[in-house]
Every structure is written in C-alpha cells, then in structure tokens.
Amino acid sequence: MTNSSAQPALLHTRLYHENVIDHYENPRNVGAMDKNAKDVGTGLVGAPACGDVMKLQIQVDENGTIVDSKFKTFGCGSAIASSSVATEWLKGKTVEECLKIKNTDIASHLKLPPVKLHCSMLAEDAIKAAISDYKRKQSASG
C-alpha cells in the first residue's frame, strides 16, 4: 500500500525544477517600498492570458546601483519564482546592467517549461517598467 499523502509532493517535484520550488516555497525579497520615493522605481505588469500580476520595485543609490529590490506577485509558482530570482539578480547591479537581464536567462535558471515562459517574460517586463519609472522620476526632479 502506498502513502497517498506522498503522491502530491512527488508529482509536484516532477513538474517543476528544484529552483522553481525553492523560490516558490522560500521567495526572496517579498514586500513593498514607498512608490513615491524619488530613488524607487516601480513596475506593475500583468498577463491577461493567465491573470498573473507582478509588481517589482527597485531602490537605486546616487551611483545608479540597485541597492534593494522587492516584489509582490499574484500568480502561479513560476511567476513567483521568476519575480524572486529577478530581485536577487538586480541587487548590486547598475540600472544599465539590469536592462540586460532577459526572460530567457530567468527561464533557463529556473528550467521553466515552454508553457511557463510568459512568467519569465513578466519578470523582464517588470524590470524594464521599474527602471523606466525610476528614470522618469530622475528626469522630472532634475
């Protein structure tokens, strides 16, 4: 006789790579910053096809380096994992370096199946939107 409670966990690990499971079960940098702060850029993006919504924020120092990043995502495990990875990768990089982060890099790291590539695309779009918001604030104040 098999233990039926073990079956969902086994199925869970077969569907998703351990990197997705890790970032889904232990998401990094969940939270929010003051969206009105001059040094904070906010990107809010969504995928109408699946209903995922991702908010990603960056805090940039006077040298143009991202010193903090937070996210809140309403969506599937792949969307949450993509957000979590993105926030980790942003910290310590310049704004320009962060624009080079592509959804394919995130998808490759998480080993996302083709049907979940839109989740990594949301993360790339959120990064670009947050940087755009930050740059808009800088040009408006400066």
Q: Note the pLDDT tens digit of each residue in 68-122.
A: 999 999 998 999 999 999 999 999 999 999 999 999 999 999 999 998 999 999 9
Separation between Cα atoms, residue 79 and residue 119, nearest integer Å: 5
**Is 50 marked active-site?**
yes
Domain locations in the chain as residue ranges: 6-141
Please pick, among 110, 119, 122, 130, the residue that the annotation labels catalytic.
119
What local confidence, expressed as pLDDT, does residue 12 receive? Answer: 47
One-letter-per-residue 3-state SS of 75-116? CCHHHHHHHHHHHHHHCCCEHHHHCCCCHHHHHHHHCCCHHH
**Is 98 marked active-site?**
no
Question: Residue written as tokens 């790339």?
Answer: 124
User: In this structure, which CATH number among 3.40.50.170, 3.90.1010.10, 3.40.50.150, 3.40.50.720 belongs to the domain 6-141?
Assistant: 3.90.1010.10
Please pick, among 50, 53, 99, 117, the residue that the annotation labels catalytic.
50
Q: Note the pLDDT tens digit of each residue in 10-33.
A: 344 457 788 878 888 888 899 999
